[in-house]
Amino acid sequence: MKVILIYGSENDKPFMQPARDYLEGESLDYVEEVLSAHRNLSELIEYLGKLEESGEKAVILAIAGLAAALPGVVVMKTSLPVIGVPVPGGPLNGIDALLSISQLPGQVPATTVGLHKKAPLNAAMAAHRILKLAGS
């Protein structure tokens, strides 16, 4: 069991350092992928398809700013728990990302964390708690 961090952009990686620090401090396995829902959708869908086929247990952190389509796409292509992490930036300083994730329509069950510098830590801690429920 592990945590999978999927970034919409390589530029989002520094924002998630607190999450990586937490995961490493708790000796949790994690992997990082940069797969944009806008720039390389086919690769994202292929990655998620292979993940589903593997049957591997994981929690996905979908990190995205601006329109933040990534969490919605990820949750529709996998049965794994997805936590959307909005990234501050752009003309609305991340409010658009937060609203995009928190206002997903029915039957698109992504969760989200707040829009602040501790959001990556909260996301990692939430993923850890989900993994504990699964017996990790």
Rounded to whole angstroms, how far apart are CA atoms 119 and 136? 23
Domain that holds residue 6: 2-133
Number of domains in the chain: 1
Read off the pTM.
Answer: 0.95
* Model pLDDT, residue 135: 78
pLDDT for 7 equals: 97
Query: Is residue 110 within 8 Å of residue 82, measured between CB atoms?
Result: yes
Could you state, in chain order, the average pLDDT of each consecutive group of 10 residues for the chain (136 residues)? 96 96 98 95 97 96 93 96 96 94 92 95 98 82
For residue 49, give the CATH number of its domain: 3.40.50.1970
Q: What's the pLDDT at 134?
A: 83
How high is the pLDDT of residue 67?
85
Cα separation, 26 vs 124, in Å, equals 10
